[in-house]
Amino acid sequence: YPYVCHAELNAILNAISSSLKGCTLYVGLFPCNECAKAIIQSGIKEVVYLSDKYSEADNTKASKWMFDQSGVNYRRLEAEHTSLTVALQ
């Protein structure tokens, strides 16, 4: 991913509000360490993620450590439903 802006950073940079202090960020994957830095600096206080499939990766471990040290809470989304059906007609 060296040539793309991750969704977390994109959301922070394009936020409508001038302040994200105390906000909750919903993401598909647990944030990488680079996104974690931006999350912490923006004042976001909670991250809700769907998947932590890279939990053993060094950058994920670093993210969790930084969140723990800075007081950013994180939790896995416990979805009530496992699928979504959209009627197009």
Q: Which of 8, 34, 56, 80 is catalytic?
A: 8
Determine the residue type at 22.
G
pLDDT at 1: 64
CATH of domain 7-76: 3.40.140.10
The whole-model pTM stands at 0.86
Below-50 pLDDT ranges, the chain = none
% of the chain with per-residue pLDDT over 70: 99
Q: Tell me, what's the pLDDT at 80?
A: 85
In 3D space, the residue among 41, 46, 38, 2 whose CA is nearest the CA of residue 22 turns out to be 46
8 labelled catalytic: yes
User: How high does pLDDT run on average in the chain?
Assistant: 94
Confirm if 50 and 25 have CB atoms less than 8 A apart.
no
Given this model, what pLDDT does residue 82 score?
80
